[in-house]
Structure 1
Amino acid sequence: MGSYFKSCLPSEARPAEAASSSISNLHRFLKHTTPRVSAHVLSKTQVRRTRLQGVRCFEEGFFSLNDLWDSFEEWSAYGVGVPILLDRNESVMQYYVPYLSGIQLYSHSIRYRPRLGDDSGSEMDYRDSNSETSSCDGELERLHDQSTLMLSDTEENVREAETLIFEYFESAPPSLRVPLSEKIKELSARFYGLRNLCSNDLSQSSWLSVAWYPIYRIPTGRTLKDLAACFLTYHSISTLLKDDQSKPLEVHSWHGDHVLLNAFGLTCYKLRGPVWLSAGTIGNSNCSFLQRSSEQWLRHVNVHHPDFEYFKSHYTPVYQGAYKCEMAHPVRKGCRDMKR
C-alpha cells in the first residue's frame, strides 16, 4: 500500500514561496489547501494493543475524523486563499471552496478502538452526537444495517483483513453541491462513524477526495480565464502501518500537535497556459506524478469515482512540462462562466 502514497512536496509552505517565481502556482495551491489537523498521542497500552493486531501507528499518533472535518470549517464558509503569481510579478489571492468528492472508510479490526485522551487500557467507547455512549465495536457492527451507503453485501470483494464500512461519491453538478463541512454534517447524521472514528481505526485503504472550486479573487481586476482551474485532491485518512513496513507513508507530515494530510493524488480541469505550471518552476514533475498516482489508486481500490472520470474525459495533452484539463459543468459563483 505504501507505494501509492508518495509526495515529493515539502511538508509546509514558507511565506517566501508566495513571492518566489521559482515555485509554480500549482505547487502553492497544494500547499495552501493541505488539511492541517490536530494530532493525538496513543497511550502505551493502546500502542501495545495496536501492535497485537499486526499493525502500528506512524509516530504512535493519530487524529480524529471530527478534527479533520473541523479543519475544513472555515474554508467551507469563506474559502481558502492561495497566492497566485502572475506575469510581471503581479500577484492575486485566489479563494477556493472545498467540496466532498469521494470517500471510502475501511476498518482493519473492530477489537480495540482508542478514544481521545483515554489511558486506561480498557475497552474504548465513543459518544455520538446525542451524547449516548456506545462501544466502537457496536458502532462498526451497526454500519451494515443503516443505509445503502453501508456495503456489507460486498465484503467478499474487499481485501483480506479489511472491511468497507462507508463510502460516498458525489455525482451532482457542482452548482448543486454544498461545501464540504455542510455535506459532512448531512452524512454524519446517517453514519455516526464520520465523527466518532479516528485515523488508527481505519486501514490504509481509507481515503478522501476533495473538489476545489474557485469563488473569487482579490483584487478582482480583469478577467483571468487561466485562473478558472478547478482541482481534485486525494488524501489518506489512515495512520496505520503494517509491522513489516520499514518506511512510513509519506502522505502525513507530523509537526508537534498537528499533522498535515499531504495530497497523494491530483486531478484538474481548466488548467491551461503558463500561469499554473511554467518551465523551470518547482512542482512540474510532481504534478504529473500526482496525476498518475490518483488514477493508479482508483484502479487499486477498484472504484468508479464520478468526478475523476469526468475530469479524465476532458484531459488534454501535456503543455510545457505540465498538463491541462477541461471540464464542462458550471461551478458556483466564480466558475459559472464555464461552458460545455
Structure 2
Amino acid sequence: MSPITSSCSSIEHCSNLENFLHSVTPIIKHDFVPVNDSKEVEAKSGLKNKEDIKLQDIWEVYDEWSSCGVGISVILESGESIVQYYVPYLSAIQIFIKKSTSSTSSHHDDDDASTKSNDKNLKSDNSCCSGDHDHLYVQFYESCSPYLRVPFLDKIIELAQSYPGLLTFCINDISPASWMSIAWYPIYRIPASINSTKELCTCFLTFHALSCSFQDNNEEGDRESGQVLDLVPFGLATYKMQSHVWNNRDKGDDEKIKELESAASSWLKQLHIQHHDFIFFTQ
C-alpha cells in the first residue's frame, strides 16, 4: 500500500478533495535525536523522538477533531467559499505487533481480555499473523449505525480496557501491517446561511497506516524533513458522492478517487477482511 500525496503546492491551490485529504491527515510533531538524548529534548522542546511516539499521541489528534470537527475549505459551483466540518469515528483497526514486542508483552492479559469481551465486533487472535514475525494484537470492525457510534477516543478507551497496548505501544513497536480506517460524517458548515446541505452530504472513509516503519519507506511530501509524522490516507471510499463538488477533473480527482478506492479494496482482500463500512460505502 502506498499513500497518494497531494500535488498542489499550497492549500489555496488544492481541489476540494485535496483539501479534504490534507485536512484529515493526522500530523504528529517529532525530532530526530539520539535515543539517549530523547528524554532531554522532549522536556525542553515538547517534541518526541520518532521512536517514542505512542499510538495514544495519534488518538489525541482525533479526540480534538471529535470535539470540534475538522474544517474543510470547500469552493462551491457558485464560487462561494465555505468551511464544511466533518467528525471522525473509528471504523476499523488492526494492530499487529512485532515478534520482539510480543515476546516481551503479556499474552496472558490478551487471552483474558479475549474471553471477557462481549463485543461481537472485537476480536483477538495471536495465532493470526501478517508475516513470519507479526502477531495480531487486536482487530475491531464497527457495524453500528452512525447515529449509535461513540466518539473516537471513547471507542479507543473502551477497547483499551481489554487491550491496554492501544494506549502504551509506541509506533515503532507495531508492525507495518497495522492500519485503521476512519469514517467521516458532515456535521455543520460556516457560514450556515448558504443553502448547500444537499451538496455537502458526502461521507468519506479513509485508510491509514499506523507503523513508523511504513512511514520511513515513504517521502513526507513538502513537510519539513524530520519534524512531522503524517499519516496520509492510502485508501478512500465515498458515500453519497457529489462529483460536482468533490471531483475536479482538471486536478485529476476522478483518477485519484479510483486509485484510492482500489488500494483500499486490494488491502482488504489481501487481509481477507469483510469491512462493514467499506462494503456499505461502495455498494
TM-score by length of 1: 0.70
Q: 1:232 aligns with which of 205, 212, 217?
A: 205
Judging changes above 3 Å, is the alpha-carbon distance between structure 1 residues 140 and 203 closer, same or farther for their aligned structure 2 residues?
farther
The runs of 5 or more residues in structure 1 that have no matched partner are 18-22, 46-58, 113-135, 242-246, 314-340
Q: 1:163 aligns with which of 122, 131, 135?
A: 135
Q: Are residues 1:63 and 2:59 paired?
A: no
Extract unaligned runs of 5+ from structure 2.
Answer: 37-48
**TM superposition shift of 1:303:** 1.3
Separation in 1, partners of 2:256, 2:164: 36
* Secondary structure of 1:72's aligned partner: helix
Change (3 A) 1:271 1:77: same
What is the SS of the residue equivalent to 1:226?
coil
Q: Which amino acid aligns with 1:5?
A: S
Provide the C-alpha distance between the structure 2 equivalents of 1:74 and 1:281, rounded to a whole number of angstroms.
Answer: 30
Q: Secondary structure at the match of 2:104?
A: helix
Q: Which amino acid aligns with 1:32?
A: S
Q: Which amino acid aligns with 2:152?
A: L
Mapped pair 1:248 → 2:213: no
Q: Is the 8 A contact 1:102 1:168 kept in 2?
A: yes
2:12 aligned residue: 16
- 1:169-190 Cα shifts (integer Å, max 9, x gaps): 1100001011212211222222
Residues 123-202 of structure 1: matches in 2 within 5 Å? 137-139=104-106, 142-147=109-114, 148=117, 149=122, 151-152=124-125, 154-155=127-128, 158-202=130-174
Report the alpha carbon displacement of residue 99 of structure 1 after superposing the two structures with TM: 0.2
| Number of residue-to-residue matches in the alignment | 264
Larger radius of gyration: 1
Percent identical:
33
3-state SS, counterpart of residue 275 of structure 1: helix
**Which AA in structure 2 matches 1:290?**
L
Structure 1 position 274, deviation (Å):
1.2
What is the Cα deviation at residue 258 of structure 1?
A: 2.4
> What's the CA shift string for 1:56-91, capped at 9, x where partnerless?
xxx974621010011112110010100100124211
Contact persistence 1:62–1:239 (CA under 8 A): no
TM-score by length of 2: 0.83
- Residue of structure 1 aligned with 2:269, choices 285, 299, 304: 299
User: For residue 116 of structure 1, what is the aligned residue in structure 2?
Assistant: none
Q: Following superposition of structure 1 onto structure 2, how do residues 100-111 of structure 1 map, counting pairs within 5 Å?
A: 100-111=90-101
Measured after TM superposition, the shift of residue 165 of structure 1 is 0.6
Q: Which amino acid aligns with 2:5?
A: C
Measure the CA separation in 1 of the matches of 2:51 and 2:227: 10
RMSD: 2.8
Q: CA deviation at 1:278?
A: 2.7
Contact in 2 for aligned 1:102/1:210 (Cα 8 Å): yes
Change (3 A) 1:71 1:139: farther
Deviation string for 1:71-115 (max 9, x for gaps)?
A: 112110010100100124211100000000000000112359xxx
Is the 2:236–2:261 contact (alpha carbons within 8 Å) kept by the matching residues of 1?
yes
* Aligned-partner residue type, residue 249 of structure 1: N
How many Å separate the matches in 2 of 1:188 and 1:164? 15
The answer to whether the 8 Å contact 2:94/2:178 transfers is yes
Name the SS of the counterpart of 1:235 in structure 2: strand
- Tell me the secondary structure at the aligned position of residue 228 of structure 1: coil
Q: 1:266 to 1:15 in 2, by over 3 A?
A: closer
